[in-house]
Structures are given as structure tokens and as C-alpha cells.
Structure 1
Amino acid sequence: MGESFYCGLDIGTSSTKAILFDRDLQVVYRISHGYRLLIEGTSRAELDPGEVLAAVMQCLKEALAAARSRGGEIAFVAISSALHSLIAVDRDFTPLTGCLTWADTRALECSEELKELYASRHFYFQTGCPAHVIYAPARLRWWQSYEPDIIERAAGFITIKEYVLYRLTGQWVVDYSLASGSGLLNLYTRAWEKGLLALLGLEDNKLGRLVDGTTTLTLTREAAVVLGADVPLVVGSGDGPLANLGAGGLINNSCVATIGTSGAIRVFSPEPRFDARQRTWCYMLDRDTYLVGGAINNGGLALNWFRDNFGSTGEDYEAINALARDVPPGSRGLIFLPFLTGERSPNWNPYARGLMVGLDLAHGRKEMARAVLEGVIFRMYSIFRALEELMGTFPEVLVNGGFTNSDLWLQIMADVFNRRIIAYQTYDSSALGAVIMGLKALGLIKDYRSLDYQPTVKDIKKPVATNVRQYQRVYQLYEEIYAANALLFKKLAGLRCH
């Protein structure tokens, strides 16, 4: 028998990746296939479930071939998937809708209508999710109000991972993590929240069978023939919880921050934890492990926006960082609020939009570039403060995601947070986390903490005292600017309709 490889399959919003790890959890092969994010107007952002499935199949075929070319085989495939997707399907599991992604905000008004009902029924303190457009209750309400035929025809409401698993295994299951990210799961009973389902007029037989992420499924004969191999599938978890696991957040009891297109800060907990002011969410990794944190819509997305609208032709991210390095902390009095696609944590204001405050004739692209970098970190810091109030103080923050390529952005985080920042080498934390869950599923490790593995440290940043003092002043002003404009965002939303 040749060498055994472990495959982490990461189903994302823009692409699916398959990463092969060897027994030492080192990456030996990586393949990615993208698909279109179907955007309509300013509120709709969907995926075609068929395109996602095709990308999954192609990634698996190529990963299996890569393992064979190395004289080995894949011991298992473990799955990571983006949270907050939703598809309506008929009895044959044929999609009746596209796959709504986290970026889809069509149910904005419905989420606002649910806020009073949530407050009176305390659903946040059962599900860990506030009333917000990103979660399933608001989207189901939207279909009920505007496309009731979908509700009538639908035999089920599923995530993209459920769709992929059904096509590969013939089984309709949903892991606790994806279920918790829907906003429909009671975190205490680990069952669908009956009161919320009754409010929505939804029977629980239209939702998947709940299973732990360590559940192993078998491919159908048809899927095995198409892939050219029969390999066990470990159901896995959501990408955010698995990114924390892959970064060592459970082993070290550490706070982990990620900035990719969006951003998040999270910490594991052995029990559900809720913020009295509802600034944070609580999801699950598996049936025994919870994840407390907050997320922003606009992480690297804000930098993309700056590059595409204010950059020079062919300018890359390193060029933008070079611009920003010439500007001192505080961007010479220029402050950027990065709500280009609304706000999630900590204020859950979907109407919020971006502001560039303090512009004068002395400001140019350099100051704007630095202000964008600082604005994203300020919003991450606002979640970090709420998280520390709830979970205790963290002396350091582990970080991963694309922003670790920017030496400057890491230093800004260290200075704003006034904490040591430890960046890891891997860009595949979610896939690695899925593999670690797979090792537990197959009995190759007893539990996550018994794993003899530490990610490779890429960089460590320590706060600079003079920068910390400056950023404390700027951050206070940043929050004052937000508070002064919070009530105006909804009025601005009305102007965008014309």
C-alpha cells in the first residue's frame, strides 16, 4: 500500500478548493476551481448550485489523480463549507432557487420586521444569531412575502453543502455548524428551534437531519464511478469554525482573527455564550464545541474597492501597501468607515455604508490607502473589544487569511489591538481544520487537543507604544463618527433606490 493522503475540500463563495495533506499535515497538492457569483442589482448575490457541484467534482477528480500520481491514495475527504447559504429544493432535490450567499441582502426589510419578534421571544439567546438579513429566518420570510410559490413547492431548505452531500451520497444531512449558522438551531437542545419554526410556519421535516461533523458517509455507486474511486466523506463543519481549528485556536485556547474578502474574530467555548447587547454570534464546531465571535462584511473587499477605483492600471496590493507605508498612523486626519456592503457585528446595521471623513486638499491616494487599511482593522477591533468583555482578555491574537501577506496591515493590527499578533504560514486553515476533524472521525486522533501539530509561524508583530497611543485617539474618534451617522444610513438607503 502506498502513502495515505488526507483531502480537505473547501466549498467557498467564489471557488472550491481541494488540498491534499500528508501524514505530517503538510500541503502536497492544491487545486481550485471557481464559479460565478451571480449579482443582480444591489441586493442579490447567488451561486448556481450546479456550477458549485461541477467544481466540487472536478476538484475531487484531480485530487484523487494527484494522490495516485504520488503512489498513494486518499484516506478520506473532509468538507469545509461557507456559512449562511440557502437553497429551496423540490422532492428530487432539484433547486427551485439559486444558492443565496452571505452577500445576498434582498431580505433586508424582512429582517428589520423580525427584530421586535426576536426581542420578545429572546431567540438570540437560544440560537446565538440576532435578527439579520444574513440568516435564514429573514430569507424565508422574504420568499413567503414575495415568492410564495417557492414556499409551496419546496420540499426542503438546504445549504450548499447539503446539496453537494446529497448528490454524492444520496443522504440529506446537515452538520451542527452549518445548522447553527442558519439561525434556526437551538444551541442548548441541538435541535431545530421549535418556537422560531412555528413563527415562520415551517415544519422541521423541511430541514435536514442533524449530524455531528465527524459523521462519515459513503459515496453512491454512481458518484464513485464518476470520480473513479470510492473514498469516505467526512461531513465536516463550517469554514469559520474550521479555520479556527486549523489555526490552533482550540489547542491554544486562543483568539483567532481572519481577514480575507470579509473578516472575523472568533474563540472556542465549551458552552454557548451570548452577549447581553447581542454584539456577537455563537455557532458550533461540532456537537460539543461552540464558537463565539463576530464578523465584518468588508475586509479585503474594501481594499479591492480602493484598488479598482483609485489604483493605477495593473497596480497590485503590494503597490497599495507601499503607498500606505509613507503615511503615519491616523492617515493625517483621514478616517474611513468600511461599510461598503453594510455591517454585521457588532451593531448589525445592514443599512450602514462607507464614509471617508476628513478629506482635504492635502490628502491623496497615499492617505486614502492607509485609511482603508486602518478602517478595516478598527472594525475588527470593535468586535475584539466586545469579545474580550464576554470571554476574558487575550494577550495575543492568532491571524490567518490573505491579509497576512501585508507586513504593514499586520503591524497596524498589532498597534490598534495593542496585542502581539502571530501570523501563520498556511492559507488553507479551513481545509486543514476539516482534515483535523476527519482524523478524529476515523479514530486517528483521540481528540483535537491530542493532535501533535503546530502551524508554521510566518510573522510576529508587537505593538509600538507611540503608534498605540495615536491609534487610541483615532479609534475613539472613529466610533464617534459612526455614532453620529448611524441614523442617517437608512435615509441614504432610500436615495439609492432612485
Structure 2
Amino acid sequence: MKAYYIGVDIGTTSTKSVLFSLDGNERFKYSIEYPLFTSIDGTAEQNPEEVFQAVFHTIQACVHYANQENILIRAISFSSAMHSLILVDHRNQPITNLMTWADTRSSKWATNLKESDTGKELYQQTGTPIHTMTPLSKLIWLKNERPKWFEQAHKFISIKEYILFELFGEYVIDYATAGATGLMNLNTLTWDKRALSLVEVDEHRLSTIVPTTYLLPPMKESFRNALGLSPDTSYIIGASDGVLSNLGVNAIQDGVVALTIGTSGAIRTVVSEPTTEENGSIFCYPLTTNNWVIGGPVNNGGVILRWLKELFECDYETLNALAKNVPPGADRLFFHPYLTGERAPIWNSDAKGSFFGLTLNHGKPHITRAVMEGVIFNLYTVMTKLKPFMKEPKCIRASGGFANSPLWCQMVADIFQMRVEIPSSIESSSYGAVLLAGYALGDIHTFERNDTMDEAMKVFCPNNHNVREYEKLFPMYEKIQNQLTPLHTEHAHI
């Protein structure tokens, strides 16, 4: 009987469990969304129990399908969004809600640390840019502005650790998720003593760091029975969604770049050793001790198109049709997509969006095209930061909801001047988790694979005319970006 695996992807807005074979055959998937609670003070939280229930019920749906189809579930492996933080008591009961990467209440403390020598040294040691997204910054904020919560906490954990403790009774965190906290030393793969001293947290209040291939203990019997799982099923800790996306789209060779645009977005590539940048503008997280993912995350991906869809009261198909009728460059209309602040490339949570070059001759089609191009220009800016640290870029492997838009994919090919490949399954983080499980269990012996037989793969090649237009436009986009960047914080504090 052919073995299948469940990849569980615990995301910012939903959890998705997908039933895969190791060769990428996607048999079944099930997802559950949950709300994000936001407020004007920068709060961006979720109820951790709602997320746990989503994980439980999506796995249950996959198991139910597998049992009906007489499919053997060999293992379950976990992917998770990065930078989350929950404070829990001795019974693993939350003292706080789940603080997501989008929570900006620690912005002041992050800015102060980033501008200090300590912040610069910590970035070099941890590979995590100093920013309000990180648990490092959130812990400093909690210690100073929510001291009662800070003192009450038995453990400071991510949503992944919360779920794994509930299911398996063990506080462990994988290399990749720990790497994104800003608290792990890149060279030793242990908690960084200087970071812990800064936040005044002892190691016993954090989980044990383990490899991404770590085999979890047997699931608690009550949960295993409720899920309908076999006692023979194995459980692999997995990694963070970003590094697993590279694995899932087969972007682990030299020069292959992974691009993801979901609600947010990211550019990532794999290098063979820990790599940081002088100005702290790129991240470096481990997948394994031989595979290090460097890149930059952006806040503003598909969320921008959703904003435009609601503003224009139309659907995505209409937006694509509008933009398609406008030539590249939207008649010199530029859009900087910082509607939710920004991480890479400018790392400024005070940033705001802007149009430049707007005239009476511009209408909805121009605005739509400028918005779509602005998201890609912004990601290309991140790519320019990566180029000095990688082999010559040769192709892009793309995933995320944007891959359903041929127009947007073509913009990527034209602006990046690279071939863009869309694998048949865009559930890259879930599939990456499955591949990691197969590797951990010895079912596969290398991450590299030949997927040229993926007949459903979509390919977009650069259009020479469009490339020439974007070559003229990008320097202006970047110049405007550089001029506006110092003004964002000043504007925020008027």
C-alpha cells in the first residue's frame, strides 16, 4: 500500500492540512480560518484555542478521508507561521492571546534596539532583523509595559509549541522556528546568552531547541483516538512555513529563488552556511545544518489586492481584467504598497502606502495595474539585497494565492527578468513538511528532486518589451522609495 503523509500548515489566517504522497500527489486538503483581532494600538492577536481546534479538525478531516479511501498515513509533520508569542502558565493555559508577527505594540522598543550597537550585534548573532515582528522585541515590551504578565509566565512559546505540547506533552521548538525568534544563536543553534540576558529570560522558560527532523513522542492517546489515527503513525516536528516553502517548491539548489505571495509575501533562497548582511536587512533561518534560508518578508502581498477589491466593490477577476488593459508602468503611476507598515526592504512599521504620479488621466485600470506592479517592485527590491549573497539567480519557483493570476505571474517574470515556474500544487509549506518527514524517516535520502515531469507546472518567461519598460521604471520606483522612507516615522508622529 502506498504511504501518504499529512502536512499541517498553521498559518496567520487559517490552518490547512494536506494529504500528500512523497512524489507530490495531493489527494485531499482541508482548511479552517480564524479571526485576527486588531486595534489602533497595534494589537494583532488570535485566540490560541481557536487555532488548536483548527489544527485538530483539519487533521481529523484528512484522516477521515484516508480511512475511507484505505490510505495508510505514514506520518504527520508540522509547518507554522513565524514570530508568534504566547505566555502560558504551568498548566499550558494561556495568560495572553497569541501575538502574531503583525502585532506592532513593541515598535518603540524595537526601533531603539535596532539603532543601538547591541541591536546590530544581536542581528549578526541571530540572523533575525531587529523588528517589532519578533518575540525578542515583544518580550522587551512585555517586560517593560506588561510586567505582571511577564512575571506570571511559566513559558514563552509560539503557537506551534502550544499545539505540540497539547498533543504530545513536550515543550520543543525546531531550529527554523527558534531561529525566527531573534533569540537563537546561528552558530551554536542554541539560545543566545546575550539575547536572553537582554530580555531577562532564563532558558527554562523557553522550549528545548531540536532539529527540524526531530521525531515527536507518541500522541496523547485521547487525541489519537479522537482523530482516528493508527498507533504506527509517526510525528515529525517540521519547521517554519518560510523554509518549508522553499523545500516544497524545490527551491533549494544554487540560484533557485522561492517567491511566495499570500496575505503577505517573501523572497527566499538557500545557501550552505549562516549568512547575514551588514545593515540587517535580510533574515537567515536554518532548514537543516546544511541548508540555510536567507531572504526578506514583506507585509504587503495579497492583502493589498483584497483591499483594492473591497474598495472597488468587485472581484479578483475584474481586477485582473482592468489591469490587463493598461501597459506596463500604468502610464508612469507608481504605488508603494506599505498599507500595513513594512518589513523588508525598509523595516519600518510606521510606513504608509502612497501613489506617485497620479493625474486626471488615470482611472481604475491604471490604479489596479500600479498596485499589482508595486507589490512586485517591492519584492524585487528585496531581491536586490539578496543577490550579493547567492549564486547567479536562474529561476523563480512561485507559490501562494497570487499564482492563480497569470497576469501577476507575468509581471514577476518581466520585473525580475527571470523564468517563473508554478508547480502543480501551490501548497508549498505543507508539501515541504511532508518531504521533511520523509527525509527524517529515511523514506527519501535527499531533498533534491527532478520535477520536470510535473506536466501541470505553469511557466512564464520574460517578455522582452515589458522587460525594457520595467528596466526604465524600477530606478524611479526605488528613488521615490528612498526619498519617502525617512518621512514615514515623522508622518506617524505628527
Q: Normalising by structure 1, report the TM-score.
A: 0.95
Task: Flag the 1:444–1:252 CA change in 2: closer, same or farther, 3 A.
Answer: farther
Q: Report the residue type matching 1:267 in the other structure.
A: T
Matched, 1:286 2:288: yes
TM-superposed CA distance for 1:119, in Å, is 4.8
**Correspondence for 1:8:** 7
Q: Report the residue type matching 1:406 in the other structure.
A: S
TM-superposed CA distance for 1:287, in Å, is 3.5
Matched position secondary structure for 1:80: strand
How far apart are the structure 2 equivalents of 1:447 and 1:422? 22
- Contact preservation (8 Å) 1:3, 1:71: no
**Correspondence for 1:198:** 197
How far apart are the structure 1 equivalents of 2:480 and 2:176? 36
How far apart are the structure 2 equivalents of 1:42 and 1:176? 32
**Correspondence for 1:220:** 220
**Correspondence for 1:302:** 304
TM-superposed CA distance for 1:454, in Å, is 6.3
1:305-355 per-residue CA deviation (whole Å, 9 max, x = no partner) reads 11111x23xx22121010001111110121100001111112211211100
How far apart are the structure 1 equivalents of 2:452 and 2:441? 17
| Stretch of structure 1 that moved more, 13-22 or 109-118 | 109-118
Task: Flag the 1:455–1:431 CA change in 2: closer, same or farther, 3 A.
Answer: farther
- Contact preservation (8 Å) 1:118, 1:130: no
Q: Report the residue type matching 1:386 in the other structure.
A: K
- Contact preservation (8 Å) 1:10, 1:17: yes
How far apart are the structure 2 equivalents of 1:252 and 1:387? 13
- Contact preservation (8 Å) 1:176, 1:287: no
Task: Flag the 1:35–1:286 CA change in 2: closer, same or farther, 3 A.
Answer: same
Matched position secondary structure for 1:265: strand
1:110-135 per-residue CA deviation (whole Å, 9 max, x = no partner) reads 10111133556611111001211011
RMSD: 1.7
Matched position secondary structure for 1:426: coil
How far apart are the structure 1 equivalents of 2:337 and 2:119? 32
Q: Which 4+ stretches in 1 moved above 4 angstroms?
A: 118-121, 450-457
Q: Report the residue type matching 1:221 in the other structure.
A: E
| Stretch of structure 1 that moved more, 271-280 or 454-463 | 454-463
| Stretch of structure 1 that moved more, 29-38 or 281-290 | 281-290
Q: Report the residue type matching 1:488 in the other structure.
A: L
Q: Report the residue type matching 1:200 in the other structure.
A: V
How far apart are the structure 1 equivalents of 2:235 and 2:131? 32
| Stretch of structure 1 that moved more, 165-174 or 22-31 | 22-31
TM-superposed CA distance for 1:384, in Å, is 0.8
**Correspondence for 1:378:** 377
What runs of 5+ residues in structure 2 fail to find an aligned partner? none
Matched position secondary structure for 1:249: coil
Q: Report the residue type matching 2:36 in the other structure.
A: L
- Contact preservation (8 Å) 1:248, 1:455: no
| Stretch of structure 1 that moved more, 342-351 or 184-193 | 342-351
How far apart are the structure 2 equivalents of 1:109 and 1:271? 32
The residue correspondences of 1:59-208 to structure 2 (distance < 5 A) are 59-119=58-118, 122-208=121-207
TM-superposed CA distance for 1:16, in Å, is 1.0
**Sequence identity of aligned pairs in percent?**
37
How far apart are the structure 2 equivalents of 1:225 and 1:192? 36
- Contact preservation (8 Å) 1:255, 1:398: yes
Task: Flag the 1:130–1:120 CA change in 2: closer, same or farther, 3 A.
Answer: closer
How far apart are the structure 2 equivalents of 1:49 and 1:220? 19
How far apart are the structure 2 equivalents of 1:342 and 1:439? 38
The residue correspondences of 1:416-427 to structure 2 (distance < 5 A) are 416-427=415-426
Task: Flag the 1:454–1:162 CA change in 2: closer, same or farther, 3 A.
Answer: farther
How far apart are the structure 1 equivalents of 2:110 and 2:285? 19
How far apart are the structure 1 equivalents of 2:341 and 2:212? 31
1:195-253 per-residue CA deviation (whole Å, 9 max, x = no partner) reads 11111211111110011111111101222232232432110000110010010012565
- Contact preservation (8 Å) 2:256, 2:393: yes
How far apart are the structure 1 equivalents of 2:24 and 2:410? 29
- Contact preservation (8 Å) 1:190, 1:287: no
Task: Flag the 1:196–1:48 CA change in 2: closer, same or farther, 3 A.
Answer: same
How far apart are the structure 1 equivalents of 2:119 and 2:44? 31
How far apart are the structure 2 equivalents of 1:225 and 1:270? 42
| Stretch of structure 1 that moved more, 323-332 or 21-30 | 21-30
The residue correspondences of 1:92-491 to structure 2 (distance < 5 A) are 92-119=91-118, 122-217=121-216, 218-229=218-229, 230=231, 231-251=233-253, 254-309=256-311, 311-312=312-313, 315-449=314-448, 458-491=457-490
1:81-123 per-residue CA deviation (whole Å, 9 max, x = no partner) reads 1111111111111111111111111111110111133556611
Task: Flag the 1:455–1:155 CA change in 2: closer, same or farther, 3 A.
Answer: farther
What runs of 5+ residues in structure 1 fail to find an aligned partner? none
TM-superposed CA distance for 1:451, in Å, is 7.7
TM-superposed CA distance for 1:494, in Å, is 2.1
**Correspondence for 2:43:** 44
How far apart are the structure 2 equivalents of 1:240 and 1:363? 37
| Stretch of structure 1 that moved more, 403-412 or 35-44 | 35-44
**Correspondence for 1:31:** 30
How far apart are the structure 1 equivalents of 2:119 and 2:61? 51
TM-superposed CA distance for 1:483, in Å, is 1.6
Matched position secondary structure for 2:331: helix
1:461-487 per-residue CA deviation (whole Å, 9 max, x = no partner) reads 222222222212211111111122222
How far apart are the structure 2 equivalents of 1:22 and 1:78? 13
Matched position secondary structure for 1:143: helix
Q: Report the residue type matching 1:183 in the other structure.
A: G
How far apart are the structure 1 equivalents of 2:69 and 2:2? 8
How far apart are the structure 1 equivalents of 2:250 and 2:32? 27
TM-superposed CA distance for 1:491, in Å, is 2.2
Task: Flag the 1:225–1:423 CA change in 2: closer, same or farther, 3 A.
Answer: closer
How far apart are the structure 1 equivalents of 2:4 and 2:220? 22
- Contact preservation (8 Å) 2:254, 2:270: no
1:41-82 per-residue CA deviation (whole Å, 9 max, x = no partner) reads 251111111001111111121111111100123111011111
| Stretch of structure 1 that moved more, 444-453 or 478-487 | 444-453
- Contact preservation (8 Å) 2:342, 2:348: yes
- Contact preservation (8 Å) 1:251, 1:448: no
How far apart are the structure 1 equivalents of 2:48 and 2:447? 32
- Contact preservation (8 Å) 1:80, 1:434: yes
Task: Flag the 1:83–1:120 CA change in 2: closer, same or farther, 3 A.
Answer: closer
- Contact preservation (8 Å) 2:255, 2:394: no
